[in-house]
Amino acid sequence: MKQGLILTLLLLLYIPTAIAGEIRQLGQDYRSLAMGGTGIVTANSSAALFYNPATMANISTWWVDLPMIQMIYSDDAKSLVDQAKTGSFSLSTQDEQIAFMKSFVGQHPYIRFDVGANWFINFDKKGLTAGGNYTYEALLDIEIRNATMPEIILKSGLDHVRQVGISIPLGLGKWVLGVTTKKVERQSLDFSYSMTDALDKKAFPTLASAGLSGRGNGVDIGLLYRAPSDLRLMYGFVYRQKIKLGDAGEIPEEVAFGVASAHNLGIARWVGTVDWRDLTFKNASLGDKSINRRTHVGTELALIPFSENSSLLSLRAGYSQGHSSKGAELSLGKVMVLGYTLYSEETGEYAGQKPNKRTVLYFSMGF
């Protein structure tokens, strides 16, 4: 009787909250995230196809990653896992669900897990390179919001991305044209779970019970211009076609531009770059035209290089959407790569508004 009244009252009070904030992009990798989310010009790793197919011209060798494993998690996810480890964490009862919402208000657990395989083959020094990715990307993104009437806003999904691309040097190689074709299959689940739902003993929706799925194809077209000067300046441009995924929504189109400078210094190699992403303002909320939110700055110091694409130790730093990032990589050629990145993702509506601190762990083996 009491529960029924409360439920009725809360049903009257509940107003669902929309998910807002983060500009989500496929294939963000540990290297680019450490370098402030850059890669339109400087991508030279296995994630190059996700940033700009023309940057495959930066690849001067060949390799296969098998497997590639990457995990990204937020600090809040860590605290959630820590609590789960104590054995006291459970959401099986109504009281536990309410207590969870009350105690985790304002937190933002985020977990992303990527696994896949990559291959790249460079055919000549001008930059004729072909490559492909086969990637599964699983996402669990939870926000617990509104301390006055807490609710869980959850976004989860599973993307299966298959893409192949080629970079083609034009003329003497100052200009490079890149093309990627990709196929994306997505299962997604977006929902809000309120106090009302908890009192109603409504089960958490799952991908199986309430997920939406769809698939679509898209093409990325990229350009790279490598200025013939001592500064080794490079300019990059990419157009990413919108991918319609049916019930699972769409991946908006993107236009991006970048500029970079790269230098070989004997036992070290230095790269500095600035990217401007989402220049057509299709990836964020209506009216959001902040250039700061679309500006990404990054640098890399690679020590003891094995090739232009691999060094024993790489140190990286960056600045993205108002937040700094840093990372390191230990690489034994392409036989084994270990990557570690700390960065903050902007999950609000403008640069510097609501950072979500995240850690990236990367591991790949290959040949």
Rule CB under 8 A: say whether 19 interacts with other proteins. Answer: no
Give the shortest CB-228-to-other proteins separation in angstroms. Answer: 8
Rule CB under 8 A: say whether 106 interacts with other proteins. Answer: yes
Rule CB under 8 A: say whether 181 interacts with other proteins. Answer: no
Rule CB under 8 A: say whether 287 interacts with other proteins. Answer: yes
Q: Label each residue of the chain as H, E or C.
A: CHHHHHHHHHHHHCCCCCCCCCCCCCCCCHHHHHCCCCCCCCCCCCCHHHHCHHHHHHCCCEEEEEEEEEEEEEHHHHHHHHHHHCCCCCCCCHHHHHHHHHHCCCCCCEEEEEEEEEEEEECCCCCCEEEEEEEEEEEEEEEEECCCCCEEEEEEEEEEEEEEEEEEEECCCCEEEEEEEEEEEEEEEEEEEEHHHHHCCCCCCCHHHHCEEEEEEEEEEEEEEECCCCCCEEEEEEEECCEECHHHCEECCEEEEEEEEEEECCCEEEEEEEEECCCCCCCCCCCCCCCHHHEEEEEEEEEEEEECCEEEEEEEEEEECCEEEEEEEEEECCCEEEEEEEEEEECCCCCCCCEEEEEEEEEEEEC
Residue of 348, 361, 363, 365 interacting with other proteins (CB under 8 A): 348
Rule CB under 8 A: say whether 145 interacts with other proteins. Answer: yes
**x-or-dash pattern for other proteins, window 206-245, by CB under 8 A?**
---------------------xxxxx-x------------
Give the shortest CB-237-to-other proteins separation in angstroms. Answer: 16
**x-or-dash pattern for other proteins, window 29-58, by CB under 8 A?**
------------------------------
Whole-number Å distance between alpha carbons of 309 and 161: 23
**x-or-dash pattern for other proteins, window 149-168, by CB under 8 A?**
x-------------------
Rule CB under 8 A: say whether 350 interacts with other proteins. Answer: yes
Residue of 6, 81, 265, 332 interacting with other proteins (CB under 8 A): 6
CB of 65 or CB of 197, closer to other proteins: 197
Contact (CB, 8 A) for 182 and 50: no
**x-or-dash pattern for other proteins, window 66-105, by CB under 8 A?**
---------------------------------------x
**x-or-dash pattern for other proteins, window 288-327, by CB under 8 A?**
xxx-xx-x-x---------------------xxxx-----
Q: Which residues pair with 198 in a beta bridge?
A: none
Q: Which residues pair with 257 in a beta bridge?
A: 237, 276
Whole-number Å distance between alpha carbons of 144 and 245: 27
Residue of 86, 148, 171, 209 interacting with other proteins (CB under 8 A): 148
Residue of 285, 332, 335, 367 interacting with other proteins (CB under 8 A): 285
The residue range among 145-153, 170-178, 239-247, 308-316 that interacts with other proteins, by the rule CB under 8 A, is 145-153
Rule CB under 8 A: say whether 349 interacts with other proteins. Answer: yes
Residue of 34, 48, 80, 259 interacting with other proteins (CB under 8 A): 259
Site residues (vs other proteins, CB under 8 A): 1-2, 5-6, 8-10, 12-15, 17, 20-21, 105-106, 144-149, 195, 227-231, 233, 259, 261, 272, 274, 285-290, 292-293, 295, 297, 319-322, 348-354
